[in-house]
Amino acid sequence: MGYQNPGREAVVQNINQNGNQTEAIMPMNQGLSNNHGGHELFDAHEVISGITCMLDQYLIYNQHIKDPELKTILQRQSAFVTQTYNTIVESFKTGQDPTIPTQQYEMTQNNDVIYGLKPGQPKKPMQSLNEISDEGISGFMLGQAKSMSSMLAMTALEMTNPVLRRVIADSVPNFIELSYEIFLYQNKHGYYQVPQLAQQDMDQMLTSYTQTNP
């Protein structure tokens, strides 16, 4: 996938000693500062810092996970996010096509969702590190992946450099997929329960709209 920044050169108008207008070709990317707007720089720093924090947290979680399935998910996601980090950083620094373009994350969970609520013990904050569980860790992972999805989507709207904008925008579906994979894992194990409306109410909601002519 190509993100090449169009218009690498600019025509600069000059007035010579005779009063005649001349043109000179100057590269647009003489310095890194020419590649980005000020607001974009701040947003890019937030994204890169957020991904760094996510990877650091995943590293911490890894030593506390007991379920081999969750550990595998974490390690696969960590490797993918690391490559995403490198792609974003390269595009941010150069404003040009990254050496390795945005990849597509493919989760390992199926799409089967278990609906309904089952009774359980009320939840409360942990009182000791000994209470760390796979349920809690997978919840932390889900929160971080969802937060990064929102941040990337919002940041892509503020980018002026076309290459970095596309890299950030193309990363949004991947982080949504990371989130969905963790949700499905949690749902399968009863950590994330999904209530439903009564059938009559659901039917009413589903038939509230009808299509129109384009």
Q: Please report the pLDDT score of residue 34 as a whole number.
A: 64
Minimal CA–CA distance to 84: which of 13, 12, 173?
Answer: 173
pLDDT at residue 28 is higher than 60: no
- The three-point CA angle 142-168-96 to 5° equals 150
Backbone angles phi, psi at 200, to 5 degrees: -65, -45
- Three-class DSSP category at 21: strand
Return the pLDDT at 173: 97
What distance in Å separates the CA atoms of residue 88 and residue 93, rounded to the nearest whole number? 9
Which residue ranges make up each domain of the chain? 31-118+133-206
pTM above 0.85, yes or no: no
User: Predicted confidence band at 31 (pLDDT cuts at 50, 70, 90)?
Assistant: very low
Architecture of domain 31-118+133-206: Up-down Bundle (1.20)
